[in-house]
Structure 1
Amino acid sequence: MLRASLREISAALKEGQVSPTELCYKCLSLIKATKFLNAYITVAEDLALKQAEASEKRYRQGQALGDLDGIPIAVKDNFSTAGIETTCASNMLKGYIPPFNATVVEKLLDQGAVLLGKTNLDEFAMGCGSTDGAFGPVRNPWSYSRQYREKRVQHSNAQREDTSWLITGGSSGGSAAAVSSFTCFAALGSDTGGSTRNPASLCGVVGLKPTYGLISRFGLIPLVNSMDVPGILTRCVDDAAAVLNVLSGHDPKDSTTVQDTFHPFELPNLIDMKDLCIGIPKEYNVPGLSSETLAVWSKAADLFEKAGAKVIDVSLPHTGYSIVCYHVLCTAEVASNMARFDGLEYGHRGSSDESTEALYAATRREGFNDVVRQRILSGNYFLLKQNYEKFFVKAQKVRRLIANDFAKVFSSGVNVLLTPTTLSETVPYVEFIEKDNRTRSAQEDIFTQAVNMAGLPAVSVPSALSKKGLPIGLQFIGRTFCEAQLLMVAKWFEKQVQFPGIQLEGIIDAVDLTSPCEKSIFLS
């Protein structure tokens, strides 16, 4: 039952095959059983059960609020949640309980969704592995999948892999792990440079980054205001579309949301590729791209061509400058956004109060990790009066050139771009931490961060298993506000590849289930 799609579980709830409270209990039991994944920072058990009971009462009275009523979801811990601690995985905000909900959270609750808890992330969403948060790293559920456990003994480094679990990618790794391990049916992430699509690819789930401005950012604790977008993680494309329909639309609390009325859409089951043009950016075939990912990318292009789509090579000539451009703009906005954490108004207060300057210094030294402090220092350097034109203004000009590259390609008749999501499959934690955060982020976000600078929608879809039995994702990039077409193409592709999905028997066998629930609950 926990493997079901949103549509399937919604139908089961409406037909009385399962009750909201029973479904909530099952998810909470599995969260406890898989606690070692460290996917959640806070589990709101009492609140979730109250919401499930309220949903059950509505179903009995025939007054369900919508298709999400009674369905357990999770939210990344950088979205404000009224009455629930919101930490951004940082000591700076430990103990902070917002008095309001983020707009996207409020919209989910208005539809009757059951909020299970807040998921883990890199501190303040600064990272690509979900390994740099104050509450410890997130483990990839595929570390314990049957596919990986059966395959890894065939490799020369099997002994090392036996003692090192796999990363989830980041920074929305907790949300991706929660969806992948069946503890919730959908989860919210945030996406600034690939933070939803990256973990979606490495955890074998669907990760959608909508067009900038389609979904409200109100209540999302900002990293980079001009690039942040709430992201959606689900186990299939139809589910991502269903959640998008709920979250989209103008919000008077967020001036960057579009004014136009959003019209919900449903993806068709029969999809014809013959009138579509798929672009393959040649600049995305970069050094470091694994041979397996390249092969999956090529095979996907062949699938579209055989289905009658026009597949052409395209050029995005400023792609090579995007990582450096992103770093300058990202750190500059980080420096601005992090200035609010001064030890005076809210959050952690430093131990030194000899002077205002000493208080600021102590607060940030104690509250932020090295990654956050480094980005603040870099950003302030780029924003210095003598450096502003040389770095920040120039980066803004390059950002415009990157956006123009995409606009030129789409104006030539291309409907959707097909690219890898990450360079390779996920890797063991012990290998990942050998590189510093900045280097890791530059490498892992190489295919994703330009999309954020251009404000485009993109979705990562699980496409194949590697030789080690680990997921490889591909990314589809669409035109602004053309999510319906983008997800239609993604759904067609999802249906063609028939990604096998994770076999979590390994996880269930690896834990001691002390709850009264039977193993069949998790495997049904």
Structure 2
Amino acid sequence: MLGLTLREASAALREGKVSATELCQRCLASIKETSSVNAYITVRDAGALQQAEAADKRHRRGQALGPLDGIPVAVKDNFSTAGVETTCASKMLKGYIPPYNATVVQKLLDQGAVLLGKTNLDEFAMGCGSTDSIFGPVRNPWSYSQQYREKSAQTGQISDEDADWVITGGSSGGSAAAVSAFTCFAALGSDTGGSTRNPAAHCGVVGLKPTYGLLSRHGLIPLVNSMDVPGILTRCVDDAAVVLGVLAGHDPKDSTMVQEPFQPFTLPSNLDVSKLCVGIPKEYHAPGLSRETVALWTKAADLLENAGAKIVEVSLPHTRYSIVCYHVLCATEVASNMARFDGLQYGHRCDVDNSTEAMYAATRREGFNDVVRGRILSGTFFLLKENYKHYFLKAQKVRRLIAEDFVKVFHSGVDILLTPTTLGDATQFKEFIKEDNRTRSAQEDIFTQSANMAGLPAVTLPAALSARGLPLGLQFIARAFCEHQLLTVARWLEKQVDFPVLRWQAVPDREHPVLQHNKLASLP
């Protein structure tokens, strides 16, 4: 039942082959079975079942609201959900229950989607591993795959279950893991510098970052206002297109949105890439890029060329400055956005009452982790009067150059860019935490954050397994508001690589179920 695509599950609901209640119950059971993954912060057992029962009534009357009616979904815990705790995985917001829904959440509910719960993340979405949550780190479901364990044992990298698991990527690791572990059919993430695409690549699912201004940010607790976008995580490209069609469209509550109406689209069944010009950015051959990822990148380019596409090398010369520029702009906006959490108006308040200043300081020291406090301090430094033009203004100018690089490439006749998503497969947790948050973000987001700087749409899809039996993803980047072309090309490649699907399977004498492939896949 859970192996169906979103579109297949929707058809099964309309035809009465399965009920929304049955689907919801199976997803809730799967959440319990895979609790070791720690993908969820909040699970809405009773509320989700009530929504599923309402969907069943609509289906029996032949009044389904749309393709998501009765479909179980999950939402990252930095989207406001009316009556449901929204924490951003931080002590600062623990216990906060919003009085309203984020616009994208409301659109899901208006279409009859069943909200299973809120997913885990790095605190306030500041991370690339989903390891910095007050609720504990998210574990990659592929850590439990039979093939990964066999490969790890062969190389001596496995000792015990607690030591060898790998990260999901972040910050939307809970959403990616929830989809990968078959607990829901789609999930919302957020993407500021790669926070949807990075975990999607590591968890073997599809991660879509839409064009800035296409999806409403109203109700998304902000990290970097000028780069944040809601992201979509699904198990196949076609499902991402379905969810995009539901979520996109103007929202008067978000002044950064475009006002042109969005026309939902269906991806063509007869996929043709023969007339495309695909650019390969030479700057993306970055230090640390694994040989496996290079081989996969090359193989994908060969597949496109053999199908008639024109493959050209292109240059994005300011890419090398992008990650540094991103960190300056990210820290400055974080310093501004986090100022609202002062212990008076929003969030946690400490017990210190001898002065307002002391209360502010103690509240923020208790409520934020080291990563958040570090970014606030960095951003405040960059915004000081004597530093403003040397850091913030200069970073804004570099950002414009980065965006113009993309414009020049697309104006030269290139239709779409093909790049890696990450340097390699997912890192073991015990190795990941040896580096500080900023260093890890520079490594993990190196191929993703420039699309956020330019506001462009990008999608990652799983394309092969590494020698360790872990997913490797590839990324496409397109012109602004060209999601149809972006997802069409991604679906074409998806059909060529035929990535293996995982299934949870109970094994005697093991505390947790393991994942089995429906077939094996390896690098071509």
Q: TM-score, normalised by structure 1?
A: 0.97
Alignment correspondent of 1:304: 304
3-state SS of the aligned residue for 1:159?
A: coil
1:60: how far off?
Answer: 1.1
Q: Tell me which amino acid in the other structure corresponds to 2:394.
A: K
Contact 2:163–2:430 under 8 Å retained in 1: no
Alignment correspondent of 1:409: 409
State how far apart, in whole Å, the 1-side matches of 2:164 and 2:353 are.
Answer: 43
State how far apart, in whole Å, the 1-side matches of 2:3 and 2:149 are.
Answer: 20
Q: Tell me which amino acid in the other structure corresponds to 2:295.
A: A
Residues 219, 61 of structure 1: CA spacing in aligned structure 2 closer, same or farther, 3 A cutoff? same
1:17: how far off?
Answer: 1.1
1:206: how far off?
Answer: 0.1
Contact 1:146–1:506 under 8 Å retained in 2: no
State how far apart, in whole Å, the 1-side matches of 2:316 and 2:79 are.
Answer: 33
Q: 1:94-493 residue pairs with structure 2 within 5 A?
A: 94-159=94-159, 163-493=163-493
Residues 403, 506 of structure 1: CA spacing in aligned structure 2 closer, same or farther, 3 A cutoff? farther
- What RMSD, in angstroms, separates the aligned Cα atoms of the two structures? 1.7
State how far apart, in whole Å, the 2-side matches of 1:220 and 1:510 are.
Answer: 39
Contact 2:157–2:164 under 8 Å retained in 1: no
3-state SS of the aligned residue for 2:164?
A: coil
1:32 aligns with 2:32: yes
Residues 190, 509 of structure 1: CA spacing in aligned structure 2 closer, same or farther, 3 A cutoff? farther
Residues 508, 470 of structure 1: CA spacing in aligned structure 2 closer, same or farther, 3 A cutoff? farther
Q: Tell me which amino acid in the other structure corresponds to 1:53.
A: E
1:269: how far off?
Answer: 1.1
3-state SS of the aligned residue for 1:283?
A: helix
State how far apart, in whole Å, the 2-side matches of 1:297 and 1:9 are.
Answer: 32
Deviations 1:297-333 (A, max 9, x none): 0110000000000000000000110011001000000
1:44 aligns with 2:44: yes
State how far apart, in whole Å, the 2-side matches of 1:209 and 1:223 are.
Answer: 16
Deviations 1:38-64 (A, max 9, x none): 100000111101100100111111111
Q: Which moved more, 1:9-18 or 1:118-127?
A: 9-18
Contact 2:273–2:307 under 8 Å retained in 1: yes
State how far apart, in whole Å, the 2-side matches of 1:409 and 1:159 are.
Answer: 48
Residues 482, 29 of structure 1: CA spacing in aligned structure 2 closer, same or farther, 3 A cutoff? same
Residues 122, 109 of structure 1: CA spacing in aligned structure 2 closer, same or farther, 3 A cutoff? same
Alignment correspondent of 2:522: none
Paired positions, count: 517
Structure 1: state its 5+ residue gaps: 514-518
3-state SS of the aligned residue for 1:280?
A: strand
Alignment correspondent of 1:516: none
State how far apart, in whole Å, the 2-side matches of 1:467 and 1:387 are.
Answer: 47
Contact 1:210–1:483 under 8 Å retained in 2: yes
Alignment correspondent of 2:494: 494
Residues 336, 49 of structure 1: CA spacing in aligned structure 2 closer, same or farther, 3 A cutoff? same
Contact 2:208–2:240 under 8 Å retained in 1: yes
State how far apart, in whole Å, the 1-side matches of 2:512 and 2:384 are.
Answer: 56
1:158: how far off?
Answer: 3.5
Contact 1:342–1:364 under 8 Å retained in 2: yes
1:93: how far off?
Answer: 0.1
Deviations 1:260-279 (A, max 9, x none): 01101000011111110000
Deviations 1:474-516 (A, max 9, x none): 0000000000000000000000000112243368984469xxx
State how far apart, in whole Å, the 2-side matches of 1:224 and 1:422 are.
Answer: 21
Contact 1:145–1:507 under 8 Å retained in 2: no
3-state SS of the aligned residue for 1:480?
A: coil
Contact 2:34–2:512 under 8 Å retained in 1: no
1:156: how far off?
Answer: 3.4
Q: Tell me which amino acid in the other structure corresponds to 1:294.
A: V
Residues 478, 91 of structure 1: CA spacing in aligned structure 2 closer, same or farther, 3 A cutoff? same
State how far apart, in whole Å, the 1-side matches of 2:322 and 2:153 are.
Answer: 39
Q: Tell me which amino acid in the other structure corresponds to 1:314.
A: V
1:162: how far off?
Answer: 7.6
3-state SS of the aligned residue for 1:463?
A: strand
Contact 1:292–1:466 under 8 Å retained in 2: yes
Q: Tell me which amino acid in the other structure corresponds to 1:300.
A: A
State how far apart, in whole Å, the 1-side matches of 2:375 and 2:318 are.
Answer: 24
State how far apart, in whole Å, the 2-side matches of 1:39 and 1:136 are.
Answer: 10
Contact 2:283–2:315 under 8 Å retained in 1: yes
Residues 59, 161 of structure 1: CA spacing in aligned structure 2 closer, same or farther, 3 A cutoff? closer
Q: Tell me which amino acid in the other structure corresponds to 1:335.
A: A
State how far apart, in whole Å, the 2-side matches of 1:467 and 1:162 are.
Answer: 21
Residues 195, 510 of structure 1: CA spacing in aligned structure 2 closer, same or farther, 3 A cutoff? farther
State how far apart, in whole Å, the 2-side matches of 1:507 and 1:144 are.
Answer: 11
Deviations 1:185-240 (A, max 9, x none): 00000000000000000000000000000000000000000000000000000000
State how far apart, in whole Å, the 2-side matches of 1:486 and 1:87 are.
Answer: 33
State how far apart, in whole Å, the 2-side matches of 1:351 and 1:13 are.
Answer: 52
State how far apart, in whole Å, the 2-side matches of 1:508 and 1:108 are.
Answer: 39
Contact 2:281–2:313 under 8 Å retained in 1: yes
Q: Tell me which amino acid in the other structure corresponds to 1:351.
A: D
State how far apart, in whole Å, the 2-side matches of 1:507 and 1:221 are.
Answer: 41
Q: Tell me which amino acid in the other structure corresponds to 2:177.
A: A
Q: Tell me which amino acid in the other structure corresponds to 1:205.
A: V
Contact 2:278–2:310 under 8 Å retained in 1: yes
Contact 2:506–2:512 under 8 Å retained in 1: no
Structure 2: state its 5+ residue gaps: 519-524
Q: TM-score, normalised by structure 2?
A: 0.97
Q: Tell me which amino acid in the other structure corresponds to 1:197.
A: R
Q: Tell me which amino acid in the other structure corresponds to 1:453.
A: M
Report % sequence identity. 74
1:36: how far off?
Answer: 1.2
3-state SS of the aligned residue for 1:279?
A: strand
Residues 133, 465 of structure 1: CA spacing in aligned structure 2 closer, same or farther, 3 A cutoff? same
Q: Tell me which amino acid in the other structure corresponds to 2:55.
A: S
